[in-house]
Chains A and B, each alone.
Chain A
Amino acid sequence: MTLKLGVPSKGRLMDKTFEWFGRHGITLGRSGSEREYAGYVQGIDNVELILLSAGEIPRELAAGRIHLGVTGTDLVRDRLGQWEQRVRELAELGFGQADLVLAVPRAWVDVNCLDDLDAAAAAFRARHGFRLRIATKYHRLVRDFLRENGVADYQLVDSQGATEGTVKFETAEAIADITSSGDTLRANHLKILEDGMILKSQATLFKSRVASMEAEDRRTLEVLKARLDLD
C-alpha cells in the first residue's frame, strides 16, 4: 500500500506546493509530458502523488480515496458538511492566501457593515419586488455567514467566474468572492464591508479522517510528518 497525496494539478498552487515539499527534502513532480496528469515522488518511500483539480480534493479526502491533500480552507469548508469530522488540518502552507469577502458598490455610501446591508436589502426588496442578489460560488459559506449574522431578504445567484463584473452587468447587487489584494474589487468599483470577512483561507495540507490505513501507511505517515516538522 502507498499513502496517496492529492495535489492541485496545475498553476501556481501546484508549483508552490511542489516548492513547499521540496524545502522539506521531498521532491514532487509531474512525469511525462506537460499534459499528462501523472506524478512522481522522490525522497520518501511509499508516497504516491495524485494530481487533481483543487476543487475536487475536499471530496476525495472526505471519500477516503486519498489520505492527504493540499487545497484551500475555503473549498474544504464550503464543500464538506461537518468538515472537522472528515478531515484534519496538518499544516498551513503559507501561500494561496485568499479571503472570502462580501463586497458592495463603492457608490453605496450608506452601506458599510452587515447591519446596513440588511436594511438596504429590505428596502431593495420593497422597491424592486425581488430579493437583493449576491453573486458567489461559495453558496454554503455565504449563506451560513449571513444567517449567523441575521441578514435577510437577499438571494444568492451562482457565479463561477468574473464575479466582480456581475454588479455592473446588473445580474447581482453585491458579491461574495475570494480576493487576495482587493485590486480587482477596486477596479470594478466595489468595496468590502467592514465586517464582511467571511473566511480567511490559505493552502493547507489536510489529512483524511476516513481513509483506511494499514500499519505500513501509518509508519509512512509518521516518517512524512517528521520530515515536514509536523510533530
Chain B
Amino acid sequence: MPERAAIRAEAARLRAIFEAAGALPVETSVLQPAEVLLDLYGEDIRARAYVTSDALRGEQMLRPDFTVPVVQMHMEHGAEPARYTYSGEVFRRQEEDARRANEYTQVGFEIFERDAPEAADAEVFALFFDILRPLGLRAATGDIGILMAAVAGLRTSDRRKAALLRHIWRPRRFRALIDRFSGRAPMPEARAALLATTDPMAGAGPFIGLRGPDEIAARITALREDAALGPISASEVALIDAILAVRETSDNALENLRDIAVDLPAIQPATERLARRLDELGARGIDITALDFEASYGRTQMEYYDGFVFGFYAAERPDLPPVASGGRYDALTRHLGRGREIPAVGGVIRPGLVLSLGGRA
C-alpha cells in the first residue's frame, strides 16, 4: 500500500480535477447516526460498517460511504442544480478477506440536476474515464433501470411486481420469485395446505407478539388472490432472462435491447434513455463500440443505484476491488428527502488503488 502522504496528495489532485469541473468541495462527519443507514440498507450494513455507541446519541457508524451524508446535506440546504466533491476516509468491516482494507480514502464527485440526466451520466463517466485512462482499466457499465422497467411492465399483479422490485438487488431471491410466479417452481406444501383449509386460523393457538391476527388474515387473503391469479407467461419470463443475459459492447447491447423492447414495450423508455446516454458518451469521445454493457451489472451492490451504473477494474489484478465505481441514485434522494427528490448521479475513486497500479501522484 502506498504511504498516506502520497494518497493524500493523489486525493488532492483528483479533487482539484472535480473542482475544475464545477464541484463545490464539502466535508461530512466521520460518525454517522446508525439509524439512517440501518433504515436504508437494513441489517446487512452491520456486516459492512463499524458500529459504535454512546449513552447519549445511541448507535453511530463510522461512515461506510459519503453518498448518504452528502445527499442529506443537499436535501437539507442545497441550491439547485449542484455538484459536489469530497475526499476522506471511509471504513468497511472485513470479515471474509483480511487482505481487503478496512479503512481507505475515497474521492467523489456528485451531480444533482433535474435536466438532461443522460448528459449528467455521461459527464460523470467521461470524467472518470479520462482520469483513469493512463491505468488501462476495464470499464464495466450497466443500467438497473432497464430491469426495473421490465418488471414494472409484466402482465401480472402489482403485488407480484412489488415483490420482484423489492428483490432486484438480491438475484437469488429474485430468481426464486420468478420461478414461483411463473409456475416453474411448485407452491410449498405448507402453503398449499393452508390455502386448502376453510378456516386457516383454527387451532392457531394463542396470539403473541405485535403481528396481529388481522395481519395474518391479510396475508392469507393476499396468498389466496395470488393463487387464483394465472402464472407469469413463459414468454415474459424468457424476455426477463433475455434482458439479464445482455452482456456485450454497448452498441450491440442497445440493438439487442431494442429487439427485446418490440415484445416488451415497457422497457422502451429505458432503452431510449440508454440510447441518449450512449450518444452523450460518444459526443465526449468515448468509443461505445468498445465499452462493455451488462444488463445485470450492479445488482449485487448496495441497493441505492436505480439507473446507470459503472465500475473500473484492473483486469490484471482480480484480487483488487474496483478502482472506481458509481451510478445514478434518484431513489435514494427520494428516500432521504422525505417527500422531495432530485435526480442524482456520481461516483468515487480510490486514490490508494490508483497509486498501487502505478498511477500518478
- Point out residues on A near B: beta carbons under 8 Å: 81-82, 105-110, 112-113, 115-116, 118-120, 122-124, 127-128, 131-132, 139-140, 143-144, 146-147, 149-156, 167-168, 170, 172-173, 188-189, 194
Structural contact, A119 and B163, CB atoms closer than 8 A: yes
Instruction: Name A147's closest neighbour in chain B (CB-CB).
Output: B44
Q: Are B188 and A155 in contact (CB under 8 A)?
A: no
Q: Is the CB of B188 within 8 A of A143?
A: no
Q: Are B44 and A118 in contact (CB under 8 A)?
A: no
Tell me the bound Cα distance from A109 to B278 in angstroms.
51
Which residues of B, 209-248, contact A by the 8 Å Cβ criterion? 209-211, 213, 215-216, 218-220, 223
CB distance from A228 to the nearest CB of B (A): 31
Report if B170 contacts A (CB, 8 A): yes
> Can you spell out 8 A-B residue pairs with CB atoms less than 8 angstroms apart?
A106-B205, A107-B213, A113-B190, A150-B174, A156-B46, A168-B208, A173-B209, A173-B210
- Which A residues touch B201, using CB under 8 A? 109
Contact indicator A127/B47 (Cβ below 8 Å):
no
**A108 partner residues in chain B, CB cutoff 8 A:** 211, 216
Which residue from B95, B172, B204, B211 sits with its C-beta under 8 Å from A120?
A: B211
A154 touches B204 (CB 8 A): no
Which one, B173, B176, B210, B216, contacts A170 given CB within 8 A? B210
Docked pose: A139 CA to B47 CA in angstroms: 10
CA distance A58 to B53 in the complex (A): 25
Could you say which of A118, A124, A154 contacts B173, with CB atoms under 8 Å apart? A118
**New A-B contacts (10) at CB < 8 Å, excluding given A81-B98, A82-B96:** A82-B97, A105-B207, A105-B211, A106-B204, A109-B216, A112-B194, A113-B190, A115-B188, A123-B219, A170-B210
User: Which 7 residue pairs spanning A and B have beta carbons closest together?
Assistant: A150-B173, A112-B190, A81-B95, A150-B170, A167-B209, A107-B204, A110-B219
- Asked if A167 and B223 make an inter-chain contact with CB atoms under 8 angstroms apart, the answer reads no
Chain B: which residue is nearest A152 at the CB level? Answer: B42
Neighbouring B residues of A154 by C-beta, 8 Å: 42-43
- Chain B neighbourhood of A105, CB < 8 A: 207-209, 211
CB of B210 within 8 A of CB of A168, answer: no
B161 touches A (CB below 8 Å) = no
Tell me the bound Cα distance from A167 to B180 in angstroms: 30
Provided the pairs A115-B188, A189-B206, A189-B208 are in contact, do residues A155 and B219 lie with their beta carbons within 8 angstroms? Answer: no
Q: What residues of chain B lie closer than 8 Å to A116, measured between beta carbons?
A: 191
CA distance A168 to B96 in the complex (A): 36
Q: What is the distance, in angstroms, from A171's C-beta to the closest C-beta of chain B?
A: 9
* Chain B residues, Cβ within 8 Å of A156: 43, 46
B95-134 CB contacts (< 8 Å) to partner A: 95-98
In the complex, which residues of chain B have a beta carbon less than 8 angstroms from the beta carbon of A144? Answer: 47
- Expressed in whole angstroms, the Cα–Cα distance for A137 and B84 within the complex equals 41
A59 to chain B minimum Cβ distance, whole angstroms, is: 15
With A109-B204, A120-B219 already in contact, the answer to whether A143 and B44 are too (CB < 8 A) is: yes
CB distance from B131 to the nearest CB of A (A): 34
Q: A149-B173, A154-B43 are in contact. Are A112 and B188 (CB under 8 A)?
A: yes
Does B166 reach chain A (CB closer than 8 Å)?
yes
Is B200 in contact with chain A by the CB < 8 A criterion? yes
Residue contact B47 to A124, C-beta cutoff 8 Å: no
Q: Which chain B residue has the least Cβ–Cβ distance from A168?
A: B208
Tell me which of A123, A150, A155, A188 contacts B43 (CB under 8 A): A155
Instruction: Given A81-B96, A107-B216, A116-B191, check contact A146 B43 (CB 8 Å).
Output: yes
Do B211 and A122 touch across chains, with their CB atoms under 8 A apart?
A: no
B38 within 8 A of A: yes
Residue of A nearest to B177 (CB): A115
Given that A113-B188, A119-B163 are contacting pairs, would A128 and B200 also be in contact in the complex, using a CB cutoff of 8 Å? no
- Choose from B167, B170, B220 the contact partner of A110 (Cβ within 8 Å): B220
Across-interface contacts of A81 in B (CB, < 8 A):
94-96, 98
Q: Among A105, A146, A189, find the residue whose CB has the most chain B CB atoms closer than 10 A.
A: A105
Return chain A residues, CB-CB under 8 Å to B96.
81-82
Is B188's CB under 8 angstroms from A150's CB?
A: no
Known: A139-B46, A155-B43. A109 touches B188 (CB 8 A): no
> Which residue, of A112, A118, A122, A150, has the highest number of chain B Cβ atoms within 10 A?
A150
Q: How far is the CA of A178 from the CA of B271 in the complex (A)?
A: 50
Query: Could you tell me the distance between the alpha carbons of A26 and B43 in the complex, rounded to whole angstroms?
Result: 46
Least CB separation from A124: chain B residue: B211
Please state if A119 and B42 are interface contacts (CB–CB under 8 Å).
no
CB-CB contacts below 8 Å: B23-57 with A: 38, 42-44, 46-47
Given contacts A82-B98, A106-B205, contact A122 B43 (CB under 8 A): no
With a CB–CB cut-off of 8 A, which chain A residues contact B208? 105, 107, 167-168, 188-189
- The residue of chain A having its C-beta at the shortest distance from the C-beta of B171 within the complex is A150
How far is A122 from B218 in the complex, measured between Cα atoms in Å? Answer: 13
Q: A110-B220, A112-B191, A155-B38 are in contact. Are A173 and B43 (CB under 8 A)?
A: no
> A105-B211, A110-B223, A194-B190 given as contacts; is B42 within 8 A of A153 (CB)?
yes
Which A residues touch B194, using CB under 8 A? Answer: 109-110, 112
